[in-house]
Amino acid sequence: MEKPEHHIFVCASFRADGDAKGVCKKKGSVDLLPYIENEILDRGLNAQITSTGCMKACDHGPVMVIYPKGLWYGGVESEEIVDEILDALEDGEVADEYAL
């Protein structure tokens, strides 16, 4: 099976036993998913996006984690911040301002 070069996980505060709640969702993480999907396509990134349940970094939410690089980002609250993070990813760098 073909694997993505970058696997981007976005906390959507899913809970196994019911509706999604929690910091990341409340701060709009889920609303950013379509934007991130579109950016991946526009930039031609070999990347997959996956939404997740709690990643236990709620104090820093909304949280995004990019593997296999192991980049943890917090405060991902806007399209502009997503752009900064993806710009850095394309350049092989880290968006320090939001790195956890």
Shortest CB 41 distance to its own copies, Å: 15
CA distance 92 to 69: 10
Shortest CB 81 distance to its own copies, Å: 18
CA distance 44 to 21: 32
CA distance 77 to 26: 10
Site string for its own copies, 19-58 (x = CB under 8 A): -x---------x--x--------------x-xxxxxxxx-
Query: What is each CA distance from 38 to 48, 77, 83, in whole angstroms?
Result: 11, 17, 11
Which residues in this chain contact its own copies in the complex, by CB under 8 A? 1, 3, 7, 9, 12, 14, 16, 20, 30, 33, 48, 50-57, 60, 65, 67-70, 72, 100
